[in-house]
Amino acid sequence: MRMIYRAALASVFLAAAVPAHAANGRLVPMGGMSVVIVWKDADAHSKGLRLIQSGAAEAKPELLSPLIACLVEPNAKAITTDAGFATHDIMVVDGEHAGCEGNVATEAFELVRD
């Protein structure tokens, strides 16, 4: 147990010591969708997924509108502003929705190496 605590503590210090930087990528649709949903934030992302999974969004799609920052075309360029394990905060940097900021699933952000 002590070893797990030390490892967790070390990872916190390491995360704080390593500077964050933006990663370049592109947005890719998931689940056969024709657009990428950029949620306003991680909380909106979670709420939106719960509405979709419960079937409430299918009956009343307008419930999702206040949770969505923008609907982005596939392959739009984006950068991470805060990379996470399950989701990333991103900013769209080209196309019709350039400047849109929000949260996407990690699978919807494909890293592009320059």
pLDDT digits (tens, 9 = 90+) for 44-89: 999 999 999 999 999 999 999 999 999 999 999 999 999 999 999 9
Average confidence score pLDDT of the chain: 85
In eight-state DSSP terms, residue 64 is T
State the fold for domain 21-111.
SH3 type barrels. (2.30.30)
Q: In degrees, to the nearest 5, what angle opens at C-alpha 86 toward C-alphas 85 and 91?
A: 90
By the 8 A CB rule, do 38 and 68 touch? yes
pLDDT bucket at 114, cuts 50 / 70 / 90? low
Residue, of 114 and 106, whose pLDDT is higher = 106
Torsion sign (Cα): 57, 63, 68, 72 = positive
Residue 21: what are its φ and ψ, rounded to 5°? Answer: -140, 155
> Cα–Cα distance between 73 and 76 in angstroms, integer?
6
